[in-house]
Structures are given as C-alpha cells and as structure tokens.
Amino acid sequence: MSLVEAVQEKLQAARFKDVAKLLRDETNRAQLQDECMDVVSVLADGLVEGNEGEHFDRFTCCEDLLKLVAGVCSPQEILLEVLDRIESTKNDEVFTSLLKVLQVVLLRLGEQKARSLECGFNTILSYINGIKLPDYVASAEAKEERLIECDEVVRRILQLYMTVLLFLEPIVKDSCAVPADTFKNMGVTRKNVIICFMLRLLDGHLLYLNARQSRGEAKASKTYIRQTAEDIVLALAKLLGDPLRLLQYTEERIRTPRKERQVKDSSHNNVFASEAKCPLLALAMYHYLLIGEDLLPSTSCPKVYSNKYIYEMCLHYCTQLIKHEKTAVQYKAILFAVQLQNLLQKEPFQAIDLDRPVHKTFLESLSNVIVYSGSERNRKQSSVLIRQYIMQFDPEGRYMVITNLFKVVSHNGLQSYIATIYKDLVNAELASDGEPSPWYSGKRLKEFLLKQVCVLKKGVETDLTESADMIISALNIVRFLLLRDKSNRTSIWNYVGELNKQFLHPLRKSIDLSRAHFEEEKKSVEEGREDAKLGFEVSVDVLNGGDQLAMPNRDRKLQMLAAAMNSFDLMDCLLARVTECVDGGRVVGRE
C-alpha cells in the first residue's frame, strides 16, 4: 500500500493519531518526498468541510499535518497545490488554515523565488478582494461611518485583514533581518514584493473605510479599521527603512506617458514604477495614512525632507484621491490636504511655485467636488479647504490662484465664493497702515472687477436667474469697496464711470426686462394658459432611476417664478445702494 493510500484510509477511519504517527515516521520520509503532492491533496480535502462539530478533529489534524509536510517536502510543489486550494475555496476557516501552510512554504523559500512569493500574494489578494463591500460604505457620511464596523461583511473583511497581517509577521521579520543593500534594488526582490503586497492591501477595501481617529480620543478606543491601518503602515515603514522613500514616484509616474514608462520600467526593472505591481491609488492611500492620519513614525523618518517638498509630492497623491468617484475616497483627500496645509504654516508658497502643474490639477479637482459632489460634508469642507489653499500663498500667488480659478470654474456659486475671498483680501490690505499691495488695488483690482466679477455675459439679455449668485456678489463687493475705501487707496473711484457703463446701467435694464417678462409668465400660469412657459429653461432630460422627470405642475411653477422675482428684488435693492454710493462720490467731486 502506498503512503497516500494509507493516509487516506486512516483519515476515513478517523484514526488521526495514526495518520500523524505515519507522516512523522522518519522511515517514511523518502516516500513522503516522492508522493508529497498527492499527500497534500488528500490532507487538503480534509479541510473542505470546515472545523465545526464532528469535523473539528479531522480539520485540526489535517491542518497540523499539512504544516508538517510543508516543512519537509519540496516548497515549490506544495506552493502550487496550496494556491490552487486557496483559489477554489470560499470558506474563511479553510483560507486561514491554508495561510498557515503557505507561511511555512514562503519562509522556506527565503530570499530566493521572489516570483513565487508574488504569485502567493496575488492569490491572497484575489480572495480578499473577491468579497464585495456593501454599496453604502463608499458613500457613508459621519453618522453611518460610526456603525460601519457593525456590518457583517465589514467585520468579515477586517477579520481577514488581521489574519493576513498575522500571516505576514514572521515573513516581514525574516526579510528585515537580511542586511539592506547600500544601493536600493528596485527590482523584483523578496522585500519589494512584500512592500507592494502590503500597499495593495491599502488599495482594496481599506480605501473606502474610515480609519480616522480624533486627536482627543484615547488609544484604547481605536476602531478595528484604525488598528488595521496602523499595523500595515508600521510594517511598511519597517520594510522601507525611510517611510517617505516612495514620495518620488508620484511625479515621475503622473508626468511620464504610460507607454514611455512601460519601456522605462522594463529596462530598469523598477517595481514601484509599475501600476500593475504598485498602483498609484495604493501609494496615495499609504501617504494619506502617514500624513493625513498622523501615522508617520518620527523615529525612522529622515530629517532631510523639507515640508515644501513633502507637500508638493503628496499633493499629487491627494489629487489622485480627490479625483476618485466615491465620496469616501474624496473625503480622505480633503483630510489629507488639510493636514498638508498644516505643514506650511511657517513656509508659505511663492507665486513662482504655481508653475508646477499639480496645483492646477488639484484646484480643478477640488472645484469639481465643491460643485458636483453628492456629499454635503465633502462640499462644505472643500469650500473651507480652497480658501485655506489660497491663503497659503504670498499676495501675488493668491491673486494668480483666484484669477485662474475664474478661468477654469464656470459655476456661478463657486465664482461668487472666490470673488468674496478676493474682497476679504482687499479688506485686509485696507486695514493695514501701509500702501495696499498692487495685487489688490490699482490696475489689477480694476481688471479683476471689470473683466471677471462685474460682467454680464450676454449684456442686457443675460439670464439673471442663472447668474444671480455672481451678480449679487459683484454688487456687494462694489458697494463694500465704495464704502470702505472713501480715501481712494485702491483707486476704485477712478473707474466708477466704466463700472456704470459696463455693468450697473446694463444691469438696471436687464432687471427691468426680466421682471416684466416674468410678471407676464406668472400671469399666464395663473390663468392656466396652455402656451404658458417658464421664463427660464427647466431641463427634463435628467433621468431618475431610468424614468424621465415630470414637468413641474402649476403650483411648482408659481413657486419657481416667485423665487426668481425675489432674486430680482434683491438685485434691485443692492443696485440702488451701489448707485447711492456712486452718486455720493460724485457730490464730493471724486468723479
């Protein structure tokens, strides 16, 4: 009888001690070497039914014996069989047992066979990522995030992450014990494969889970998500030596075309420049945890990095996160950016720093979140963030950011908000004793007001309902400046005539025309005339669950018309106040 047949017969008879004795017998070692694949297959079959009830003894026996066989037989042969079993199982208990066997095999492979190690890690990732998170997780707001760990699927995923981290502990320790090369090898080495695997753990489910911990919370109150994230980051910092070593790859990978990078990767064999082996989102998530969640180990981080360098490199990663379609990932980008701002409290940017393309890309992405994000939290915090971002520059840089935002942002509400920021900067200059900065007075203030703020895009025929936010802000800004700067330090009184001609007079005609038109439309709706249409366009092409939205009914139409009329009244009131200020200036002879 062959060894495989003997093992199979004793397992079927539940004679587990005899199976263990048989495989531990040194006289059977040579036969075990010859039949190891078949023996592993038989033992792995004993794990299939799990470890519950009457199967418990069989399960634990097969698990222990698999580890025994993995320790004495060919690791390459056993690796193939174990990976095949991991791919076919859907049971977490079986997966955990097979990981214990895989751990023995990978430790025996040592520094050699990095490709085999990579293959094993890919199989583990496939199993974990094959579990789908509930849809609500990626769009959860603050209240829902507190209860996410109560979800059965999330608990299962976190348990698997913890299991994998325990599986990795001796492998990481063994790899760190090997002396590091003087010149870092970026190829497919054992340590680099482990680093890439742990980074890809961050690119999976953890990307959508909130690992945030308030600074006031005690360490004992850590969530499982937070603890898992910390364990991964600390292990990566240990493997890398320098936790910020991977900062350099973001700019290189974003600015270098993909085809060109693929040629470069193949010639230089750099795993950290490969999207397949080291995804950009994984790097972004790692640096978010380092900076955004304050997990950067102070003892192992070199002091050679300037805060400005860290900021600019991390801003690339922040942009990758904020461009993500899921609100949970966007929220991480916002938290990340806020922490980056704190790095530069004593080191502001200069206008020349805006030559770096990342600033434009970041601002465009942040603007899209403010305007289009479905998360109220993201929209509000992004609005605060964009103001903080502008304020980190010198006066010239602030002016350039604001004026360029007007060129790339078309949303009237956001333009109105940005114009208000500029007004606050002018106010700060007027509050100082010295001469106002040339960026907030004279020629540049005139250009900003006449070319970007006080503008009716279609003259008298401008749709005032669509442009209401911007027009109201423009009137408020002009009135504020006329009242605040009576001594003409900003030179605004020098071009009041141009403001009248270009903006104030056409606006008066536009308000009168729009009000008359809407009054007529209101009368038509009230009389129930079939040809009655709203005085502004209402799109019904938006789909709601596959169904076209219905046209507003009579009451809704009247509400919309009343709201439009109210905005006209507000514009009219503000315009009258501005006109009073202008006329007052003429009386004292400024114009």
Q: What is the pLDDT of residues 325-350, one digit of tens each?
A: 999 999 999 999 999 988 877 677 88
- 3-state secondary structure (DSSP) of residue 547: strand
Residue 54 has pLDDT above 80, yes or no: no
Would you give the DSSP letter of residue 502?
Answer: I
pLDDT grade for 183, boundaries at 50, 70 and 90: low
Residue 295 has pLDDT above 80, yes or no: yes
Residue 175 has pLDDT above 60, yes or no: yes
* Segment 122-151 mean pLDDT: 90
Q: Quickly tell me which residue has 């859907």 as its tokens.
A: 90
Asked which of 184-198, 269-283, 445-459, 537-551 is least confident by mean pLDDT, the reply is 537-551
**In one letter, which amino acid is 501?**
K
Domain spans of the chain, in order of start: 1-109, 112-213+221-301, 460-530+551-590
Long-range contacts of 384-388 (CB under 8 A, 24+ apart): 385/334, 385/337, 385/338, 385/341, 386/418, 387/421, 388/338, 388/341
* Segment 177-189 mean pLDDT: 75
Structure confidence at residue 552 (pLDDT): 65
Structure confidence at residue 79 (pLDDT): 92
Structure confidence at residue 547 (pLDDT): 45
pTM given for the model: 0.87
pLDDT tens figures, 421-447 = 999 999 999 998 888 999 999 999 999
Q: Quickly tell me which residue has 């023996």 as its tokens.
A: 39
Structure confidence at residue 544 (pLDDT): 40
Residue 464 has pLDDT above 60, yes or no: yes
* Segment 351-363 mean pLDDT: 91
Structure confidence at residue 546 (pLDDT): 42
Asked which of 130-134, 412-416, 557-561 is least confident by mean pLDDT, the reply is 557-561
Structure confidence at residue 29 (pLDDT): 82
The continuous run of DSSP H or E covering 78 comes out as: helix 75-88
Structure confidence at residue 428 (pLDDT): 94
pLDDT grade for 112, boundaries at 50, 70 and 90: confident
- 3-state secondary structure (DSSP) of residue 548: strand
